[in-house]
Amino acid sequence: MGFTFSTLHIDNELELRLLDESDAEPLFRLVDENRKHLREWLPWLDHNTRVEDTMQFLHSCRVQYDNQICFNASIRHNGAIAGVIGFHPIDWQNRSAMIGYWIAKQYEGKGMMTRACSALTTYAFKNLSLNRVDIRCATGNARSCAIPKRLGFRFEGTLRQAEWLYDHFVDLHVYSMLAKDWSGT
């Protein structure tokens, strides 16, 4: 299996664009401005404190994309980076992928992440011929859990203490969509 991704147009204001090293400065700035917001639920903020760390992340994204293991795209709102979404990882053997995402505080509540997840799920089924997409969210992260629920993903269960978040474990809710059930909402 193999795929190439560059840009996925969603609507008049939104598109997903494959991240590369040229995004290091604006991406780091966005992360830095949103450190407190993102740190509540994402485990990597303390390892990303300099633009060089973002560059390193982007480099590893490129290697993983070249090896077709993962991919990360910027969510662009009228051209500006608003957040990141991707498949991490893609399990080609089982035709399954997990979606991960974040968006900057100032873009929350506009349905942008719902639209981005919907577009990426359609892309997974139509372009990559995957069979299953899942989204895992900390049980306390209600905003995030609302996204797969809103898109009709099925709640499958809870992985106990599945993620270490700086100083404590969190449980993760698992939501999935199968190709046969996706109506492309």
Q: What is the bridge-based pairing of β-strands 132-138 and 96-103?
A: parallel
- Does residue 137 sit in helix, strand or coil? strand
What distance in Å separates the CA atoms of residue 183 and residue 126, rounded to the nearest whole number?
12
Crossing angle of helices 24-33/51-66, nearest 10°? 120
Alpha helix stretches (DSSP H) within the chain: 24-33, 35-39, 51-66, 112-126, 142-150
What distance in Å separates the CA atoms of residue 172 and residue 50, rounded to the nearest whole number?
29
Nearest distance from residue 99's CB to ligand COA, in Å?
Answer: 9
Residue number, 108 or 134, with CB nearest to ligand COA: 108
Go through the chain and tell me how many residues it has.
Answer: 185
Residue number, 18 or 170, with CB nearest to ligand COA: 170
Nearest distance from residue 50's CB to ligand COA, in Å?
Answer: 21
Residue number, 3 or 107, with CB nearest to ligand COA: 107
Footprint of ligand COA (CB under 6 A): 38, 41-42, 101-103, 108-114, 137, 141, 143-144, 147
Residue number, 8 or 112, with CB nearest to ligand COA: 112
Name the residue number minimizing CB distance to ligand COA: 111
Residue number, 35 or 129, with CB nearest to ligand COA: 35
Nearest distance from residue 5's CB to ligand COA, in Å?
Answer: 20
Nearest distance from residue 35's CB to ligand COA, in Å?
Answer: 11
Nearest distance from residue 144's CB to ligand COA, in Å?
Answer: 4
For residues 15 and 77, the answer to whether their CB atoms sit within 8 Å is no
Residue 13, C-beta contacts closer than 8 angstroms, at least 6 positions apart: 77, 78
